[in-house]
């Protein structure tokens, strides 16, 4: 482990000898050296990075493929999480002709994830809605995460829709271990077999309604791949999902980033 430990430099915003990773939406500074990734954050992000570390460690103890923790460095005003690099290519990089087989693999792995037991992390719907309320109150909603239709409305109006629909969603939710941010860049595939080689960016992993993962995966497949997600849903085992629940989580999720 010590051989991989990055050297903190003055200012703490970059790591000497490591290559900066510029893709992705992570709020942390991300670097790579060989087969190790490092995420570095300031004081405001330490708890979130610590949460991700704990989730990576937990998932590594299951049959679901993913990264393992290499090292953890924490100081009074920063932290750095080092994990192994997961082999494969991110889902958003797959060729058009590979996507149907990849969807089948993703559906199987997601079903396995949702079947896990003993997860110590929870994401109650009320806490996720409260997070959205905070983001909207601070005016921090990123319009890039909204559809063209949603951008015509004020974030507060979108939040009102979420709050009004929440009692129904809570009454029918099915609590399972969810990834929590199941977008295509967070799923790695073997480019030859198109089997899932790992799930990454686990900061939101926890027990919540399975429709959260289904909503994000299906809308990503539709928008990013311009593909019908039916093969994914069939492989998962839910060819006819509840569109009302999918719509709710698709609206709630972009209000929680900010």
Q: Which residues are catalytic?
A: 181
Q: Which helix H or strand E contains 168, and what residues bound it?
A: helix 155-172
Phi and psi based region of residue 207 (left: phi greater than 0; alpha: psi -120 to 50; beta: remaining): beta
176 vs 125: CA distance, rounded Å: 12
Exposed / middle / buried, residue 60 (Cβ in 10 Å: 0-12, 13-18, 19+): middle
Q: Mapped to the 3 state alphabet, what secondary structure does 181-200 carry?
A: CCCHHHEEECCCCCCEEEEC
Please report, for the chain, how many H helices and E strands are present, in that order: 7, 12
Q: Which helix H or strand E contains 172, and what residues bound it?
A: helix 155-172
């Amino acid at each position: 482990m010590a051989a991989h430990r990055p050297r903190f430099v003055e200012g703490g915003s970059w790591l000497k000898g490591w290559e900066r990773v510029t893709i992705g939406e992570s709020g942390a500074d991300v670097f790579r050296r060989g087969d190790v990734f490092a995420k570095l954050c300031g004081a405001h992000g330490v708890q979130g990075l610590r949460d991700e570390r704990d989730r990576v460690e937990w998932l590594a103890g299951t049959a679901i493929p993913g990264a393992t923790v290499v090292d953890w460095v924490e100081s009074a005003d920063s932290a750095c999480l080092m994990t192994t690099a997961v082999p494969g290519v991110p889902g958003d990089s797959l060729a058009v002709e590979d996507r149907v087989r990849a969807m089948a693999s993703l559906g199987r792995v997601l079903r396995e994830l949702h079947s896990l037991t003993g997860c110590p992390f929870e994401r109650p719907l009320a806490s996720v809605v409260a997070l959205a309320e905070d983001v909207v109150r601070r005016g921090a909603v990123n319009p890039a995460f909204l559809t063209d239709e949603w951008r015509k409305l004020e974030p507060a109006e979108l939040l009102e829709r979420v709050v009004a629909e929440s009692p129904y969603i809570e009454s029918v939710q099915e609590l399972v271990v969810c990834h929590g941010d199941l977008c295509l860049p967070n799923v790695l595939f073997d480019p030859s077999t198109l089997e899932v080689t790992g799930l990454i960016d686990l900061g939101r992993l926890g027990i919540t309604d399975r429709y959260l993962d289904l909503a994000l995966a299906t809308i990503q497949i539709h928008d990013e791949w311009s593909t019908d997600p039916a093969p994914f849903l069939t492989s998962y085992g839910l060819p006819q999902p509840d569109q009302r629940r999918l719509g709710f989580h698709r609206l709630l999720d972009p209000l929680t980033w900010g």
